[in-house]
Amino acid sequence: MPFSRSRVVAACLACAALTSCDAGSPGNPAGNPLAPSESAPREVRVALVQLAPWERSVSAVGELDAFERVQVATKVPGRLAELAVDRGDTVRRGEVLATLEAREYELRVQAAEAAVGAARALLGLSDGADDALEPESTAAVRLARAELERARLDRERATALAREGVDSQAVSDRAEADYRAAESRLQEAFELVAARRATLAQRRAELEIARAQLAETRIEAPFDGQVVARRSGVGAYLAIGAPLLEVVRTDPLRLVLSVGERDGAGVRVGQEVRARVEGHPTELVGSVARLAPALAPGSRSLVVEVDVPDPEARLRPGLFAEARIVVAPDEGVLVVPPEALVSFAGLDKAFAVRAGKSEERRLTLGRREPTRVEVLAGLVAGEEVVLSPGKLGGGETVRVVR
């Protein structure tokens, strides 16, 4: 018992000593404890939430494709006599790529020319004269008209003699019948001339067909491009439509992109496109040239085409590309510096300053750049946010240091 009473007394004395020390300390002469709300305010630096222009773009992926790709084929059958180009060759529009054996087609032209000459001869057209003629100038019509005139005179004489009683009525009737027959022969002559003119036109058309077939034995390049494949060889007999070469046009190229269903709603023809291609050091810049009228059935994506000039042939069809389509070049958005953000457990927040106190704001963020971050929700333009808040909490007293 005596030992326990002494320990209690010692403890009381110690507490009294501590109380007296606190009451007489220089920082608190009145001896009152400091309340948390009356502590010194924390000095902070702030930045202004600004409404700034920031272009909005959507991402897309795709590949380069040839602007045009065709299978150069034959339009007439024949044996391949010459193939002037091969894979990798550059060709110009109108350049002869291949030729077929043309002797048979030359003979067809000669036969058609002879048929035209025969048709012209039936119409009485001389060499060098054009095909236009008046039916009255043809021999058949002139002969029929002369016979008609003779029959008319005979009819008039027979009618006069019959009226005077010199000839019988039978002679007059026969002269009338001859006149009617002569009229029919004149009409027949006109019809014959019309038929011969139609025959001449037909022979002219056959001659043009023969000449066109002869010209088709020379197979020409449809546009400026390059040969990517060779499909046949010299000596092969080719039917109509048989492929000879595959030619592509590579200036410009088509950049074919796929845009997601949600982002595709804002894509329009004429919008700027920036793309990067594998193995190409510089960024490609173009504009949307064409849009698919419907989404792709499988991927539900929108197909977008961009024309990419390539006069130096530095790019190749098939290269993979990543692109961004600028849908709003000067859209106004709220931005804050990255130093104003605090991220924890998947949440983004910042501390706004209002009436000398900090307010915690949970944010919804958008795009990020090294010097700014887009704020979609949580702040308004003109507010001040604390930079590098550290362990600052909401409701604390702060003093802004400019």
**pLDDT at residue 22, as a whole number:** 44
Residue 133 lies in a domain: yes
Residue 96 lies in a domain: no
Which of 215, 238, 263 terminates a domain? The answer is: 215
| Residue closest to 64 by CA, chosen among 280, 228, 261 | 280
E strand spans, 21-55: 42-48, 50-53
What does the alpha-carbon distance between residue 271 and residue 306 come to, in Å, rounded to a whole number? 10
**pLDDT at residue 26, as a whole number:** 42
Residue 237 lies in a domain: no
CB 249 within 8 A of CB 224: yes
pLDDT (tens digit, 9 = 90+) per residue, 53-102? 988 889 999 999 999 999 999 999 999 999 999 999 999 999 999 999 99
Domain match, 269 and 317 both: yes
CB 286 within 8 A of CB 329: no
Q: Could you tell me the pLDDT band of residue 190, with boundaries at 50, 70 and 90?
A: very high
What does the alpha-carbon distance between residue 68 and residue 228 come to, in Å, rounded to a whole number? 12
CB 352 within 8 A of CB 398: no
Which of 280, 309, 328 terminates a domain? The answer is: 328
36: pLDDT strictly greater than 50: no
Cα Rg for the chain, rounded, in angstroms?
A: 50
**pLDDT at residue 11, as a whole number:** 44
**pLDDT at residue 39, as a whole number:** 67
- Which DSSP string corresponds to 50-92? EEEE--EEEEEEEEEEEEEEEEEE-SS-EEEEEE---TT-EE-
User: The domain that contains 396 carries what CATH number?
Assistant: 2.40.420.20
What does the alpha-carbon distance between residue 250 and residue 41 come to, in Å, rounded to a whole number? 68
Residue 7 lies in a domain: no
Residue 235 lies in a domain: no
40: pLDDT strictly greater than 90: no
Residue 236 lies in a domain: no
What does the alpha-carbon distance between residue 108 and residue 371 come to, in Å, rounded to a whole number? 79
Which of 299, 328, 357 terminates a domain? The answer is: 328
**pLDDT at residue 330, as a whole number:** 85
Domain match, 124 and 211 both: yes
What DSSP designation does 370 have?
S
**pLDDT at residue 31, as a whole number:** 42
In percent, the amount of the chain with pLDDT more than 90 equals 69
**pLDDT at residue 1, as a whole number:** 38
Residue 92 lies in a domain: no
Cα separation values, 389 from 42, 342, 349, 385, Å: 10, 8, 10, 9
Domain match, 165 and 260 both: no
Mean pLDDT confidence for 7-14: 42
Mean pLDDT confidence for 189-198: 93
Q: For residue 108, what are the contacts with CB-CB under 8 A and spacing of at least 6?
A: 210, 213, 214
Domain match, 120 and 190 both: yes
Mean pLDDT confidence for 321-328: 93
Quick one: how far is CA 346 from the chain centroid?
Answer: 42
**pLDDT at residue 132, as a whole number:** 79
How many CA within 13 A on the CB side of residue 261? 7
In this structure, are strands 347-354 and 342-344 parallel, antiparallel, or unpaired?
Answer: antiparallel
User: The domain that contains 301 carries what CATH number?
Assistant: 2.40.30.170
**pLDDT at residue 5, as a whole number:** 45
Mean pLDDT confidence for 310-322: 90
CB 149 within 8 A of CB 135: no
Using a 10 angstrom Cβ sphere, with 0-12 exposed, 13-18 middle and 19 or more buried, the burial of residue 77 is middle
**pLDDT at residue 307, as a whole number:** 94
251: pLDDT strictly greater than 80: yes
pLDDT (tens digit, 9 = 90+) per residue, 382-393? 999 999 998 898
| Residue closest to 221 by CA, chosen among 77, 83, 66 | 83
What does the alpha-carbon distance between residue 188 and residue 138 come to, in Å, rounded to a whole number? 13
CB 373 within 8 A of CB 334: no
**Strand 237-238's sheet: what is its strand order?**
218-220, 96-100, 78-83, 237-238
Domain match, 108 and 208 both: yes
Q: Domain limits at 258?
A: 61-69+250-328
Residue 361 lies in a domain: yes
**Which tops the pLDDT comparison, 279 or 37?**
279
Domain match, 147 and 166 both: yes
pLDDT (tens digit, 9 = 90+) per residue, 106-158? 999 999 999 999 999 998 888 777 777 888 888 899 999 999 999 999 999 99
Q: What is the dihedral of CA 164, 169, 173, 174, to 10 degrees?
A: -100
Q: What value does the mean pLDDT of the chain take?
A: 88
Per the structure block, which two tokens stand in for 298?
């499988």
| Residue closest to 124 by CA, chosen among 142, 137, 115, 111 | 137
Can you give the length of the chain in residues? 402
**pLDDT at residue 311, as a whole number:** 87
**pLDDT at residue 74, as a whole number:** 96
How many domains is the chain built from? 3
